[in-house]
Amino acid sequence: MNYLAHIYLSGDDDPLLKIGNFIADSVKGKAFKKYPQAIQNGIKLHREIDTFTDSHPIVFESKHRLFKKYRHYSSVIVDVLYDHFLAKNWQDYHPTRLNVYIEDFYLLLKYNFESLPKRVQNFYPYMVSDNWLLSYAEIDGIEKILTQMNHRVKGKTQLQESVKELKEFYPEFESEFTAFFSELEEFVKLKKKELLVN
> What is the band of 195 on the pLDDT scale with cuts at 50, 70, 90?
confident
Non-local CB neighbours of 90 within 8 Å, separated by 6+ positions: 97, 98, 101, 137
pLDDT above 80 for 197: no
Q: Do the Cβ atoms of 82 and 66 come closer than 8 Å?
A: no
What are 36-53's pLDDT values in tens digits?
A: 999 999 999 999 999 999
Residue 90, CA distances (Å) to 5, 84, 142, 191 in order = 10, 10, 16, 23
pLDDT above 90 for 198: no
The pLDDT score that the predictor gives to residue 153 is 66
Element (H, E) at 179: helix 170-197
> What is the band of 24 on the pLDDT scale with cuts at 50, 70, 90?
very high
Residue 148 burial (C-beta neighbours within 10 Å; 0-12, 13-18, 19+): middle
What are 88-137's pLDDT values in tens digits?
A: 999 999 999 999 999 999 999 999 999 999 999 999 999 999 999 999 99
- The mean pLDDT value for 65-90 works out to 94
Q: What is the pTM of this model?
A: 0.93
The pLDDT score that the predictor gives to residue 158 is 85
Angle between helices 170-197 and 74-88 (to 10 degrees): 90
